[in-house]
């Protein structure tokens, strides 16, 4: 979502950091570029105006002009002001006597039902016992959709089909949660294609009956400034406590994410970063600011790895690498583990300095490569996976036919694996050669 903004910022920063000293005209030109970059990213013009004014005040002061590295100081100031604009992140408010009620609101099509399931899964993983409530009685498929998601996640769903209005259903659901010892209740309320009085009256009554500790607006980040206006309108009518921005993995310009906190004063608690039910991340303003500026996000990468990867398998794979006994079967297993963390392009964006590389790796291309390699290895016998040296010409033809690939593609995979094995053996021996020289010997440029 922030690719264009990242590229513009990178261009500005390269010009600044390449100069030993900065003149007043250099700073003015840089601030003008920053202003244009934010406006092109669909950031609210008032937010842009305030942001640039703060930058100008700090960048033209003693902090920068007398610094030995003025260009880097400007980058630091932009980073800090971007964090300030995004606001302070916070966790869900789940204190007090359970059940804790979380009410999700939003327009029709914003993804409330899916986000309700994602939120329930996230809470369940950290030891809570959520109850999902189907309170959207107007959309025909909403109840069925939530029931299906609940079965997938093994999370209970409260449903009434007796014609009671949503406020009554929500009240009954909170009572049922107490009986079931569920400590969190997530209300999936109805939406409209536009905000109207009937919708707001219904939401106000639900709030009055169920007493939610959190009222979260689910807003589609792809709608740009419309998401900001929607948040303002809902907040004025039902007193929101926070926001969930969906489709942050899309190709919109990202202005809503930067603007919405400043305009509404509401914190963004979570961002949806994919279609899978575990693709919901807590928003850390400092991490998002680092991603926007192309600085990576190592902490989120580590958290993804801890959550997705099997620690025992990772340790076993590491031992095989160090002993140079890593096989194609192990390689396939580690690919499957890595795929749990997301696409290669998403992972590269979190590594400092690799944001530009990730532009060249499309999720579609990466998935196709994964599938092709998986198909080739799966078409081998166990003996072939453990010792690829026995794979002769006839075996290669059989593997190619079985995997729907070509002999050339099979050869390419085997060649790359041999190179990787050679590197692992050199690492295991460690005969006085550093890792950097070993990588350069394999044609790797860092």
pLDDT at 255 over 90: no
153 neighbors 68 (Cβ within 8 angstroms) = no
pLDDT at 362 over 90: no
256 neighbors 231 (Cβ within 8 angstroms) = no
Report pLDDT for 96: 86
Report pLDDT for 361: 45
Confidence of residue 358 (pLDDT cuts 50, 70, 90): very low
pLDDT at 133 over 90: yes
209 neighbors 135 (Cβ within 8 angstroms) = no
Q: Determine the topology of domain 3-86 in CATH.
A: 1.20.120
Report pLDDT for 443: 41
Q: What's the CATH number for 100-295? A: 3.40.50.300
- For the record, the structure tokens of 438 come out as 């070993």
219 neighbors 230 (Cβ within 8 angstroms) = yes
pLDDT at 168 over 90: yes
Residue intervals of the chain classified under CATH 1.10.260.30 are 303-441
Average pLDDT estimate for 128-133: 96
Report pLDDT for 350: 57
* CA-based torsion, 195, 197, 201, 202: positive or negative: negative
Confidence of residue 438 (pLDDT cuts 50, 70, 90): very low
Confidence of residue 276 (pLDDT cuts 50, 70, 90): confident
Report pLDDT for 399: 94
CA distances from 33 to 16, 70, 71, 163 (A): 12, 17, 14, 57
Average pLDDT estimate for 23-28: 78
- The winner for highest mean pLDDT among 52-61, 262-271, 289-298, 317-326 is 262-271
Report pLDDT for 341: 65
- One CATH from 1.10.260.30, 2.40.240.10, 3.40.50.510, 2.60.120.260 for 303-441: 1.10.260.30
- pTM of the full predicted structure? 0.67
- For the record, the structure tokens of 82 come out as 């971007």
Residue intervals of the chain classified under CATH 3.40.50.300 are 100-295
84-110 confidence digits (pLDDT tens): 888 877 889 898 889 999 999 998 888
56-86 confidence digits (pLDDT tens): 888 776 555 555 566 677 778 888 888 888 8
């Amino acid at each position: 979502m922030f690719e264009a903004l990242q590229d513009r910022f990178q261009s500005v920063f390269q010009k600044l950091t390449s100069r030993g000293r900065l003149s007043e005209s250099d700073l003015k030109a840089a601030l003008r570029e920053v202003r244009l970059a934010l406006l092109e990213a669909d950031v609210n013009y008032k937010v842009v105006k305030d942001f640039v004014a703060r930058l100008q005040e700090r960048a033209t002061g003693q902090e920068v002009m007398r610094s030995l590295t003025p260009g880097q100081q400007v980058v630091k100031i932009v980073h800090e002001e971007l964090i300030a604009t995004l606001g302070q992140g916070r966790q869900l408010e789940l204190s007090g006597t359970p059940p804790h009620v979380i009410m999700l609101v939003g327009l029709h099509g914003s993804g409330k039902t899916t986000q309700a399931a994602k939120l329930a899964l996230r809470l369940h993983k950290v030891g809570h016992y959520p109850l999902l409530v189907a309170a959207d009685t107007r959309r025909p498929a909403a109840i069925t959709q939530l029931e299906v998601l609940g079965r997938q996640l093994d999370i209970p769903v409260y449903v009434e089909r007796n014609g009671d209005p949503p406020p009554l259903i929500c009240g009954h659901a909170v009572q049922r949660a107490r009986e079931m010892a569920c400590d969190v209740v997530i209300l999936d309320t109805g939406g409209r294609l536009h905000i109207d009085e009937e919708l707001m009256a219904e939401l106000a009554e639900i709030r009055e009956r169920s007493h939610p500790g959190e009222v979260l607006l689910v807003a589609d980040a792809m709608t740009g400034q419309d998401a900001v206006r929607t948040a303002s309108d809902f907040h004025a009518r039902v007193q929101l406590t926070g926001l969930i921005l969906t489709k942050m993995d899309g190709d919109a310009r990202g202005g809503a994410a930067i603007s919405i906190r400043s305009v509404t004063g509401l914190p963004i608690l979570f961002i949806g970063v994919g279609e899978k039910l575990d693709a919901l991340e807590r928003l850390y303003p400092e991490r998002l600011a680092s991603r926007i500026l192309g600085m990576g996000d190592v902490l989120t990468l580590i958290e993804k790895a801890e959550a997705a990867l099997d620690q025992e398998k990772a340790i076993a794979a590491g031992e095989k690498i160090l002993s140079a006994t890593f096989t194609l079967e192990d390689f396939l297993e580690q690919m499957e583990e890595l795929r749990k963390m997301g696409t290669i392009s998403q992972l590269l964006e979190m590594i400092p300095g690799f944001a530009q590389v990730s532009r060249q790796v499309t999720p579609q291309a990466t998935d196709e490569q994964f599938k092709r390699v998986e198909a080739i290895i799966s078409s081998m016998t166990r003996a072939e996976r453990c010792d690829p040296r026995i794979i002769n010409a006839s075996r290669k033809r059989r593997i190619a036919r079985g995997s729907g690939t070509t002999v050339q593609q099979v050869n390419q995979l085997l060649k790359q694996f041999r190179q990787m094995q050679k590197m692992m053996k050199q690492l295991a021996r460690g005969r006085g050669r550093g890792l950097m020289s070993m990588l350069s010997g394999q044609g790797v440029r860092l």
